[in-house]
Amino acid sequence: MKKYLLSTISIFSLFLTFSQNVEFKSANFKDDKDGLKQATDAIKSGDDYFTIANEAIFMVQSPGLNYELALKQYNVAQKFNPNNGELNYKIGVCYANSPYAQKSIQYLKKAYELDPTCDPFLNFYYGYALQLDGKFSEAIKSYEAFEEGYRKADNFNKFVSKRKKECSDAKAAMESPIRAWVDNVSELNSEFNDFAPSISTDGGEIIYTSDRPNGHTPNEAGSFDKDIYSSSLNNSKWDKPSSLKGGVNSTTDDVSNNISYDGTKLLLHRDVDGKSDIFESTLKGANWSTPEPLPFQISSKNANEVYAAYSEDGWSIYFGRDNDNRSNGFDIMYSSMQSKIQKNFMAAQMISSINSKFNEGPVYITIDGETMYIASEGSGSLGGYDIFVSKKAQGTWSKPENMGYPINTPYDDFFFSSTANGKYAYISSNRDGGQGGYDIYKVTFWGEPKPPELATEDYLLASIVNPIKDNSIEATVDVNKKSFTVFKGVTIDHITKKPVEAEIEITDNATGKLIETFTTNSATGKFIITLASGKNYGIAVKATGYLFHSENFDIPQGAADNLVNKVIELKNIAIGSTIALRNIFFDTGKSTLRSESNAELDRLVKLMKDVPGLKIEISGHTDNTGSASLNASLSQDRAQAVVNYVQSKGVAGNRMTAKGYGSSKPIATNNTSDGRQQNRRTEFEIKAN
């Protein structure tokens, strides 16, 4: 908004280059003589105040309300005739020496354009306008032009030299800004003056002073008395400020100075009998008590004391005091207590190392007592009040150093109240861009440069990237599918079926290896062994008097009942062996063979055929019943019948003889039916093999 205004003014100024200075003469206002009279009267009234104010400024003293009162009058005339160079100059000077310094720029520039010779001090103030506007080189030229023209041997040169230095310092400062942001705290500010901030240690409460409308009667200049306000921080925003609770604010100026570190006491200043004194109020619950003046060592009758601050240890009060006899403006003093209970302050002392020839104050001491922030118009300022910092070293305060731009500007920048961690501070300034007059600003210090945190990564352990795997496993195995089968059997005589003790050899036919050799049971002819399944075996059977027997057989894999049973029939071939043919049957009393004899007879045939060299005698036998001769012939016939049968089956007759023995060769007793049954038999005897 302000920038827009300035641009408009600039364009307007350009237009006005061609404007002429209009004097307050009747020749120029023939049609409005009354208006002219009113205007010139106003100017005269204004001039009275203007002169007083200028003298005070020259003496580095407060101009009081005089510029404001002069301005009130000048504005009446300005409304009538805005194109008078001198009037514009005077209005510019009034604003330049007020909190609304920014407003002076347009008037001073206009004055310069309308009538550069309207006042001997125009170059001085025009230079100031340029300085405020940041045009430092041009400002210096203007100041130098003023020096050229100003020949009086008075103290005024100190102001000019000061201003020139301010310009060069400001130029350098703006080229190297410090590491901070300065932001207008819009929630706290108004178009009026808002200043003297004091922040609680935790940064959550602020107390400050404002001359915004407060319902009291304004003074003759139309301004309201200063009151103290407070606000709380809520979600990083300040609440709407309210008048300090309790009995602090009066109908006259009450200006906040400094809140104690524990937040329970407040220093302020107010006028007493035309002089400003330091007061103290105490927080009781939610209300501040009616302020009490500090003792005379601080609040003297003959001087003005303003802007006090507590020392960090609570033993001293720092404050600003002016002196009517000297023209150094306000200086910083301090007074210490002898006893905190009695609060008996000693005489105030000046701190020469921090005071200058111009105004000092307000002052602020950090909670650790090591740093003092002090506002000063003195040497090193960039213009108006600036905030300086002084460090305590070996019990003395160092020469204050300007805090730099953007904290300080060519405008008034003063007050300093910081949070405990020093990250933020609150100041006041009437710099361009505010809401009007002095405003509260928040300083955010960037702090020391913040090096970034850089991340590196290593694979410190090789196993992360190059894992050693001991993952060798045990080797494969040969699968042995062993299964066994019980091989059971019996060796018997082929004809008689009687057990024969025999020697058996079992061979694995695949490998030719002899697996087992054993003898069958002599009584039963039985054997039982275990053989590996899934093979073909050869079995060789030997028995004395018997034909050698061999065959091969399979032991199948996975036989359900894992049992193989073999009946091995051996053929008797021993000479002299007699074998009974128990399964040969004849019709009773006859030699006719019954058919049920065939199986036995066929076995005999097989034996004869299997053993081609076998020669046998087939004999018939009876029991002793009946005639001996009949028995003899019957037995002979029966034997012959057998021979005939076997011969009929292809066995050569010359290998067999038939003989009937009748009852001559019993094998059992004839006295029993059993015995007789046994004696009735047919036999064969091996004669040759």
Partner 1 sequence: MIRTKQIIIVSLFFLGFQASAQLDELTPEEQAYRDSITALNLENEAIANSQEAYNSGIKSFQAKKFNEAIAHFSKSIQFDPNFTAAYYNKGIAENESEKYNDATKTFTQLIVLKPTYSKAFFQRGRSYQGLNDYLNAEKDYETSIKLDNENPKAYYNYGTLRFLQNDFDGAINYFTQSIKLDGTNPNSYNDRGSSYRMKGDYPKAIADYEEALKKNPNLAFVLNNIGTTKSKMKDYTGALAAFNRAISIDANFHLAYNNRGVVQMNQNRIDDAIKDFSKALEINSNYSPAATNLSGAYFKKKDYKKALEFGNKAVAMDKTNGSAFVNRGNAKEMLRDMIGACEDWSKAKELGSELGKNYYSSNCAN
Q: Which is nearer to partner 1, 3 or 481 (CB)?
A: 481
468 part of the interface to partner 1, by CB under 8 A: yes
Strands (E) in 60-179, as ranges, are none
Task: Evaluate the CA torsion angle 323, 328, 329, 335 in order and state its sign.
Answer: negative
In Å, how far are 59, 274, 307, 352 from 302, measured between CA atoms?
A: 17, 10, 17, 21
Q: Which of 12, 296, 484, 548: binder of partner 1 (CB under 8 A)?
A: 484
Give yes or no for residue 459 binding partner 1 (CB under 8 A).
yes
**Residue with Cβ nearer partner 1 (484 or 548):** 484
Q: Does 471 bind partner 1 (CB under 8 A)?
A: yes
Closer residue to partner 1 in complex, CB, 393/460: 460
Distance CA(228)–CA(214), nearest Å, equals 10
Q: CB 316 → partner 1: shortest distance, Å?
A: 25
Kindly identify the residues of this chain, within the stretch 90-129, that bind partner 1 according to CB under 8 A.
Answer: none
Say which residues have a Cβ less than 8 Å from residue 124's Cβ, sequence separation at least 6.
Answer: 142, 143, 146, 150, 159, 160, 163
Specify the 3-state DSSP secondary structure of 390: strand
| 473 is a site residue for partner 1 (CB under 8 A) | yes
Only one of the segments 200-208, 288-296, 576-584, 629-637 lies at the binding site for partner 1 (rule: CB under 8 A); that segment is 200-208
Q: Binding of partner 1 at residue 563 (CB under 8 A)?
A: yes
Instruction: Indicate the Cα dihedral angle 97, 101, 103, 108, nearest 10°.
Output: 60
314 binds partner 1 (CB under 8 A): no
Measured CA to CA, the distance from residue 413 to residue 388 in angstroms comes to 10
- 175 belongs to the binding site for partner 1 (CB under 8 A): no
Min. distance of Cβ 468 from partner 1 in angstroms? 6
Q: Do residues 305 and 278 touch, judged by C-beta distance below 8 A? A: yes
Q: Pick the piece of the chain touching partner 1 (CB under 8 A) from 135-143, 327-335, 339-347, 451-459.
A: 451-459
**Residue 348 per-residue DSSP state:** P
Position 446 contacts partner 1 (CB under 8 A) = yes
Residue 548 binds partner 1, judged by CB under 8 A: no
**What token pair was written down for 622?**
């009876």
Rg (C-alpha) for the chain, rounded Å, is 72
The tokens of 492 are what?
Answer: 């018997």
At a CB cut-off of 8 Å and minimum separation 6, what does 271 contact? 252, 253, 277
What are residue 183's DSSP bridge partners?
442
Considering only 470, 511, 513, 629, the residue that binds partner 1 (CB under 8 A) is 470
Site for partner 1 in 366-405 (CB under 8 A): none
> Min. distance of Cβ 420 from partner 1 in angstroms?
6
| Cβ count within 10 A of residue 302 | 9
Least spacing, CB of residue 25 vs partner 1, in Å: 56
Give the shortest CB-422-to-partner 1 separation in angstroms. Answer: 8
CB of 435 to partner 1, least distance (A): 20
β-strands 549-555, 535-542 pairing: antiparallel
The answer to the question of residue 419 lying near partner 1 (CB under 8 A) is yes
Map residue 548 onto helix, strand or coil: coil
SS3 (DSSP) at 331: strand
Q: Is 232 in the site for partner 1 (CB under 8 A)?
A: no
> Is residue 482 near partner 1 by the rule CB under 8 A?
yes
Beta-strand ranges (E) seen in 439-483 are 439-445
The residue type at 320: G
* C-beta of 341 vs 475, nearer to partner 1: 475
By CB under 8 A, tell whether 451 contacts partner 1.
Answer: yes
202-to-206, 233, 366, 387 alpha-carbon distances in Å? 10, 10, 13, 22
- Interface with partner 1 includes 463 (CB under 8 A)? yes
For position 588 contacting partner 1 by CB under 8 A, the verdict is no
Tokens 């101009």 map to which residue? 63
From the list 106-114, 134-142, 419-427, 606-614, the region that binds partner 1 by CB under 8 A is 419-427
Does 236 sit near partner 1 (CB under 8 A)?
yes
Interface residues toward partner 1, by CB under 8 A: 181, 201-204, 236, 419-421, 423, 444, 446-447, 450-463, 465-466, 468-486, 488, 528, 530, 533, 562-563, 565, 595-596
